[in-house]
Chain A
């Protein structure tokens, strides 16, 4: 049964991933990427990596891809133009592709899986063991990664931030403090004489 489920999700994953790069409409491509994330989360669940699987859905599907879609929908992309220059970029593209393939083969080939250590010996819940590792053995790398992300965020904000003069910022505390007397003035007018 597990095998059937695995092959089902693996097939969907491969199909979705290949559609990401073949489909014409960028919005559809982003949605196929969402489908690919979902199916890989399902495959991870089969490996009893429930925390990672749900975190993948939460972070990538729930946040990153929403922002991606947000941007892609705003762009008015000319679909015909994106097909141009396919042959011109083919050598560069295939070179990068082959390079990535070689790297992956080297990494995966050198990585010997210890069959006994994968499923049967793991007793503690995935979340707990991950947390224990992250906050004891890998504490420094974890904190350094967080600091790098913070630096990247500050840099991005600093690059796009406009100076005070260009923005028309509102001051909510002033808006809230407004009283009736500031805005409304009662004027006493003599009644107009009747004709």
Chain B
């Protein structure tokens, strides 16, 4: 009896922590859309949204309310069940992956030893939502978008997996907290320096994996209308966007954890360290994640869309060889105990 009560209490605690992660995440997703419109607006010498609320700050809420009240149209010849479940399959892995993300030292929902491959597994599942949306819509454009997305994600997942192999070889662990702790020392101890090519490959693959510009051929407004979600409307459409932005935040957070030392202070090891000691580690983590998110927005405002065959060439013929060579170099460095990173 007591045991079951204890187990129920544990379950309740886990549910509470899940809410504690998910609610701020969804709020950040909403304000990331606002930040995107503002940042791209200023880059293009416009004002961006500025009507709803002070400085347009209530715009995402207005958008959400609008989308909720729109009619959901289900095409007659579509596969009804898959059509509705596809957006759910897109967003669920994007949220589930956050279970193993450490926000600060010890602040993590599931401190599992296979955190890194768990995340890789979750991000690779996200593509099901897109493929199924394309197929279930029973529309040419949607199907073309889905096919492009599937090929692209499979190609870049390999390069991304290899960069993670480099990280785990350097840290000697698949546990994300231990990967961060292995980067302790100073700004120069973080893995962006010894694994610089992998860092670049990881981030570009992350952009491709999330189907963001300049790799957004799955949407490709100018050629296939809107790609996989051309038949979607209302809240189902909004869920696809939630998933895309949640994935952006996830891969940015991962880049911060694996290459920029997660919650570690950038002033570590210098005379400034005691001055900034009062700032909690979570703030550094959020700032580093925000930096990568800004890069996403900057890319979108700056680069034209890649041509499809060039995307494939970049993934298969450039990134995979680069990562393979660097993994061998990292292996040699780990065996030779080269300080300060691999000692």
Contacts and interface: CB of A to CB of B under 8 A. Distances in A.
Interface in B69-86: 79, 82
Interface residues of A, number: 26
A34 B121 contact: no
Interface stretch (B43-51, B127-135, B233-241, B331-339): B127-135
A93 interface: no
Interface in A57-89: 57-58, 61-63, 66-67, 69-70, 73-74
Nearest to B115: A54
B316 to A, nearest CB: 12
B69 to A, nearest CB: 31
A34 B128 contact: yes
A25 B143 CA distance: 17
12 contacts: A1-B7, A25-B79, A28-B82, A54-B117, A57-B125, A61-B121, A66-B153, A69-B135, A70-B147, A73-B135, A73-B147, A172-B310
A170 interface: yes
Interface of A: 1, 25, 27-28, 31, 34, 50-51, 54-55, 57-58, 61-63, 66-67, 69-70, 73-74, 125-127, 170, 172
A27 B4 CA distance: 41
Contacts of A27: 79, 82, 135
Given A50-B114, A62-B157, A73-B143, 19 more contacts: A1-B4, A1-B7, A27-B79, A31-B82, A51-B114, A54-B118, A55-B117, A58-B120, A61-B125, A62-B124, A62-B127, A66-B128, A66-B154, A67-B154, A73-B131, A73-B135, A74-B147, A127-B113, A172-B310
B128 A54 contact: no
Q: Closest 6 A-B residue pairs measured CB to CB?
A: A62-B124, A58-B121, A57-B121, A125-B113, A1-B7, A73-B135
B140 to A, nearest CB: 13
Nearest to B136: A27
B181 interface: no
Nearest to B11: A1
A139 B171 CA distance: 23
B309 interface: yes
Interface of B: 4, 7, 79, 82, 112-114, 117-118, 120-121, 124-125, 127-128, 131-132, 135, 143, 146-147, 150-151, 153-154, 157, 174, 309-310, 313
Contacts of B117: 51, 54-55, 58
A127 B153 CA distance: 26
